[in-house]
Amino acid sequence: MPTAIIPSLLRKYTDGRERLEVRGKNVREVIADLKRQFPALIEHLIEDGDIKPSVAVSIDGEIAPAGLLERVRPDSEIHFLPALGGG
CB of 81 to another protein, least distance (A): 6
Q: Give the span between the Cα atoms of 8 and 26, in whole angstroms.
A: 23
Number of shown-chain residues binding another protein (CB under 8 A): 23
66: left (phi over 0), alpha (psi -120 to 50) or beta: alpha
Residue 71, φ and ψ in degrees, nearest 5: -75, 150
Q: Pattern 35-64, binding to another protein, x per CB under 8 A?
A: -----------------xxx---x-xxxx-
Q: Give the footprint of another protein on this chain (CB under 8 A).
A: 5, 7-9, 52-54, 58, 60-63, 65-66, 77, 79, 81-87
